[in-house]
């Protein structure tokens, strides 16, 4: 025969205990909301910093179209790459990059038209 389980007497909750539990829940909820808000604010500040400090001044200009031939677009990164290659091939110092750049657009266009 199986033993009968002894039932523990149910613990009665007083009004004071119930009130404290409700206060604790309210505090936990407030702390959770404040914590999440702080994390979101920090992420927003970091995101704006990355956008303003890296994307806008460095990344975006390199990917804008500077030369368009027929349906082919050439971005600034490609133009700088060709400019550096041309400078190295001619053996000129960096001071002459402006002169090289002025005469580099036409050869890029002609090379694309020949293709």
Residue 2 pLDDT exceeds 80: no
Residue 1 pLDDT > 80: no
Mean pLDDT of the chain: 90
Residues 7-63: tens digit of each pLDDT = 888 888 899 999 999 999 999 999 999 999 999 999 999 999 999 998 888 888 888
Q: CA-to-CA distance for 33 and 84, rounded, in angstroms?
A: 53
83: how many CB neighbours lie within 10 A of its CB?
Answer: 16
Q: Where are the alpha helices (DSSP H) in the chain?
A: 15-50, 60-62, 76-90, 97-102, 105-114
Q: Could you give the CA distance from residue 108 to residue 103 in angstroms, rounded to a whole number?
A: 10
Tokens 């505090």 belong to residue? 27
Strands (DSSP E) found in the chain? 65-69, 72-75
Max avg pLDDT among 35-39, 80-84, 106-110? 35-39
| Global confidence as pTM | 0.60
């Amino acid at each position: 025969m199986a033993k009968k389980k002894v039932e523990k007497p149910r613990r009665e909750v007083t009004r004071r205990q119930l009130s404290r539990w409700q206060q604790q829940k309210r505090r936990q909820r407030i702390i959770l909301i404040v914590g999440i808000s702080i994390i979101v604010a920090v992420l927003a500040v970091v995101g704006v910093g990355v956008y303003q400090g890296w994307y806008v001044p460095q990344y975006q200009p390199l990917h804008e179209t500077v030369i368009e031939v027929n349906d082919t677009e050439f971005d600034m990164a490609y133009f700088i790459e060709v400019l550096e290659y041309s400078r190295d091939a001619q053996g000129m110092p960096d001071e002459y990059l402006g002169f090289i750049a002025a005469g580099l657009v036409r050869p890029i266009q002609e090379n694309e038209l020949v293709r």
